Structure 1
């Protein structure tokens, strides 16, 4: 698994978790979903992604998007 796929998988899991929390706990968890979406949007423009930095430090090999 390369860095690109790890970041996308992590974002997808976090979105699904936040949607489940919004459904079962409180709708305020949708703010977390919005934060994840905004982070993905800014990463597409700037190339800066905190999750990519963490995964890179954990030794996940680079993909084409986060070099």
Structure 2
């Protein structure tokens, strides 16, 4: 798996978990402030799409994952 693929898997996982923890109708509801984490991940995805730079991808590359295309 390449770093950009893993970034998307991690972001998708974080979004789904934070929605499960932040939506009052969810069986795993904890607090609505988890929705702020959803917004944070979305803002980072937007920023990385515009600037073509992603901190998570840089970190994963330092751990040895290949970048991919």
Normalised to the residue count of structure 2, the TM-score between the two structures is 0.86
Larger radius of gyration: 2
- Which gives a bigger RCO, structure 1 or 2 (Cα 8 Å, sep 6+)? 1
Within 5 Å, give how 1:1-67 maps onto structure 2.
1-23=1-23, 24-64=29-69
Unmatched 5+ residue regions in structure 2? 24-28
- The structure carrying a bigger helix percent of its residues is 1
Q: Deviations over 1:21-54 (max 9, x none)?
A: 1131011110110010010001001012111011
Coordinate RMSD, CA, aligned: 0.9
Normalised to the residue count of structure 1, the TM-score between the two structures is 0.88
